[in-house]
Structure 1
């Protein structure tokens, strides 16, 4: 049996009367439009929250205020019994109380949030408590085929129905739980309780940024589920439906009473009768937007959208994508946005403005305006104004803002099928049939419409207009400036433009468009097309499919559009330069010779720019780019994609602004700049400039005089391939950097951070900068300054120079095998000259000096220095401070000169004939083996000559000195500085035996000779 389709009045009658046997039950709200409600003690907080949300959904549309009371509410809620049901009590038809029961197990099983089946259950049961029955005469369970009374009984029309959307075979709506009472429910409440004064009466936003203030706010949450359905009722204000945060294709009709598709569902939004929504914003999908009779603002967002304004003065925006916009009635403003847009005009369209018509991309569809037969007729309607080109038709006026008539030609318009679009000699109008036709025009401006079937259409000479129609067509345009427009079907057409400046437009299937000679405009449709510009300066636009685009020479403009596209240029010379935009998708772009401008757009693109001075923008996502020969410019997108760029021959400028890119300049004098994300920069051959960002960069170079700035971050630089004639400059900046130069004479400043600097070959200048640095100078005559911080430095081979900064930290320096000069100006440094004739100077803070092998010059500072030497004829000056000196490894042929200076010094000389001056302070001196000369200073010195024939020299009266190993007959004591001691006889009166020692005491001068007997001393032991 075929079920009837109920009107709203019939459905309302069933809901409030038919279900109750012809009686109408309800609350008496004539005095106060409010009802009280109460919760049983067993209801949890989540249950109570969901109940109150369900009450709100009824309260607004019915104009009823629900007031909570502790106990005894007119509507009582409980969860103690099984299942879900409502019982009502009253006097006659007037309800006096109702009890709603939804069990705890029901709540726990069907979800506890808005948008769940538990929420829908509460809304349904509250409907009973307000006087609504079911939409059919069923209760507890039902089958649509057995129990439905009318064809449109489902959740799409009423929350009081038992049948979900997909249980009803008469609706194509998808399954969805309900957020609100639906249209029949709203009408039933108004029949029972009258129409409320206002429902969502102000300026309300639904969806993203919702201000509805009830369960509809759920649509604005980021985690809302797609399978929800709802009815919007709004009585006043300037209102907005905003689903711009969604990517699914939407179909939205703002006509009151209309059903729309949102969130990837079908038929899940209903506008209640009389509801007027003024503004609509959709997202990235291929959306269809339809306005109502008032002035709408419709914004399609991204995607290939179809936007129709309806009546009223509308503002339409297609935004990004290949959009179709029709203002319809009223004075409308149309903005296509990025992409290939079509602006459609039909009867009664009003006075419309197209704000951004792009002549080489967009076109105007006036095929519905049958009174405009051809370009000649259209040209007669055009007038240049201060605002643009005005086209005054019998139906309305079109203003193409910012243009003049001379910028337009027939290829920018779609005329009525069967009408001419050419401007040459009088031509033919040929129309095909539903079969496969062969139509050939003459030498005039022909108009050929293939219509249905697999047709073969030829324009011959003249400026022809050809419409492929449906089917797989073969189009040969030959000579003239021709226009081809594909049908909207899926047929695969093959179009040859021939000579002339042709305009070939695909709108449906996977077409093949060949521009051949001339300056052509080729546009791919939504399917995957092959687009070949041929020779000439062509403009080619891809669609949303995976297009294959190519040209054979000329200065071309290419927009590949969405999809995984490819573009290949051939035949260009150095005078030509193409402009290519990849758009969305993973594109492959292969340019030829010439100075090209290439933009990969979004997606993981592969770009080869070929020869010429090219400008390449990687765009979003991770791209692979080969710039080829020429002085090229590369700029990364600002996203996090990791690009790989090879500069090739030429002086290239490569700049990363977003992700962790890998930039290789190749040969030439290149400039490479890293982003803040951290990059890999390779200069290659040539004099390169590498600039790091704030991230962790890895840099290297393969030869040339390079300038390297590492910047912030823990960066690394490695110079390879340099020769001795190269000289790099490396600036480390902040961060713990690792820098290794090549064979040239390089200059390195580690900057702040704990850096590792390696000079390798070449005469390098290395500055550690701030931080605790590790420096290896390598071979070559290097100059090293550790900078501030406690540094570890290995000067390596060569005659190196080390100069410490004035910082107080302590450096450790190893000299290597050259003749090093090491100077400490600040901290308590440790300097080791290694092999070679080195010069080491300690700072005033004190330090450790190790001369190593070779004839070294060691100079202490004002602090307490520890000085050692291995071998060689060394010159040691300890300076101020309590210093120590130890010689190891000297042979008998070595002769050191050691000056203790101020301070209480300890000096231990080695083998060889050493000259030792104690200086000021109470010094301890051990001369070691060899014929040494020990000169006491002004303090109380302790001297040991060691093996050999030593001379102890005393030059002034001072504190008591001591010789611990004087050997009579072998060593000498030099007292020539003292007047009055001219002979041994003069001295004998000043010699006394004191225990096991002999004391010399003369005029304030006193020296003790340990383990010496007075009787063993002779005149030969003294120099007087």
Structure 2
């Protein structure tokens, strides 16, 4: 009950409204499902009754002599119920009683209904259990009855416009009067006389007038004479009396007695100040929030459920009296939200109140605040409630000094719970407060349609942004953010690790604060995630995300081909872990490392840094790009791109068949013994070297040095004059036509033609006794220091033996054999006519093969020459030569003086000795029998015919030149 306006009777226009009536009829069964309960076992008389009914139910019972039947029911505080006890037996005179939860009788009726029936209207003062007692007159009347309890339809809940209409119209119309206001609008002036007040009264009146100025823009000019509004304290009580003409207020008088101030206080947080706000509201034309005056009881005199101080200072019901709303009892220190709507409907709105960047709340007294009494409203001794009215700027509700859990709601016309109270703060319609800061408790912050900055501060806070591009400050692992689809582009700024998706799939951006090592994880949006100066784990999750690391050694998780990473120079050693193909350089030249995840076949490409790039279990393409990179393939058949002599490739055993593609010289074994293939790229003259594997090594278009190293390798040269190193009998060299002049250097016997007909040269290395065989090309084949078998095969070949007792196979008249002095005892095996001296003076032996009629000519050495089955011409030339003609009619030619030559198989009558020096006819030849041999002497020359009968020698065996 409120005693404001206790003296309102002084205004003859204002009658006292006695109560509330309702024409609506509530019909049980029509509006809800209700039960009919019949008494079986007799209902006991007391709180132990076994029968319980609900409002709307009916109970059918029987009264015997001296009987009382009790029925239990639960009622709501402040609700009025109609209780009827109706006799179903003629002559039954019912008595109806109501008892509280302890069984004490609190209401009674006899004959309040039709005839002898009982009826009463009962208002529950508290919510809970009650008992309905059905009895009879003196307990002697008996018979059957029906006990029922019904409640009228609940009162409506008014919105603020309806409450404002009650203030400006409804109240006055309920007593036959009209809306009223002074003939002034926002920006205008009304004279006010407060000279009759005490200093305390003047202070309260001045502050109350200022509060109404803040929302209307009406200027109150203080005068000492006649005034539109006179405020005095001469009479007892508190009231307003206005003189009107039609809808115009001519003058108003407000009285708040000194006794009122003495009893209710003289501070802003006193009931006296609220009284001034209330009575000045009357003076300006506002009526009561209900059709009551002087006094009122909630549940009886209100005609809507939310009639309370919380919505309007013109209400008679405090927050406790009103059992519908949820609010702490608090004195009102500003016009409330419905008051502002109502008063602005009468006068217009102020447009100059709090235009700057205003801070409301607990921690900023004297700094960017209103400069009024509301700046420190949380420091008052009594609980206070207020409505914020603000015309501009970027404003903040700051309740960071509060330990209690708070609800801070930036939406206009909603109620916040701040400073440990409930429902004590609201924001006026049209007022936009952009930002809010919570305290140390578990707060709930709710944004509006503006771009809000919501900081829950300490505690496990819930922040709900709503429309607008909102920013959330997170510092507790229990913080929760609520964002719905289509509610702007929102940012979270977090002091702790935070995952957007756990709060909402509709948060766009995340920034990590401070220097701790934090993780930031996105959601399905195209997030922008920014790290702090620590070592961050940044994962955009789904969506084409942008991740910005900042200082620290950061790790980025990439799962979308549209993901982008931003790193600047000097910002730590950073790693990208990607489940999709990723190129570091496309995002930043300052990312150091890349790891591919999953099992898909992915590409990972570096940048100018010395990258470490790791593959996954799939078939990866790994390219370190510029820089001395380390590439680690893992499982799968991986391909590595090498472009720097400092690049390193790491492969372990059993990790697939891997290929290095290198634009610089590269040695597989220096990186790993488990790399299989190497391809040289570009056109530079490069070397490619294998390892212990059976490598496939491909050259580029330059002049390559290709060495398979250990293993049965395949070497493919390509364009350019390539050199192949062969060290395994299983090595194969592949060359195509027109691909340069190529050389094989082999430490094992090697046949060019078995690998390719387009290899030009072969060099045998080492000291082993090796064979080197050519192909159809004009090969150059070089022996080593061992005893080599060198066969140029087809083509006009050049064969160079080197040290060792080498054997050359000649099959082309263009073949050339090169031997130097002191390089062993060498043999040429030729299927064509061959002259040792034309190739070298250091070839010792010549063997003609096949059946063709060939000539074989020696050199200055003591040659051993062997003919074939054809008719050979054998000329040992200089030196003491041994000649074997073989089958056929052979001619042994001697043209060098001073030599002693031997013919091992002279055939009398078939072969011919042709002498070109030392004798001109047979008579100049001396035939001597020496053992089994025959010696022919002429001049300084001797020819020894081994195993030949000297008697068979005749002039017919000779030809002289």
Q: TM-score range by the shorter chain?
A: 0.3 to 0.5
Task: Name which structure has the greater RCO, CA cutoff 8 Å, separation 6+.
Answer: 2
Give the TM-score, by structure 1 length: 0.42
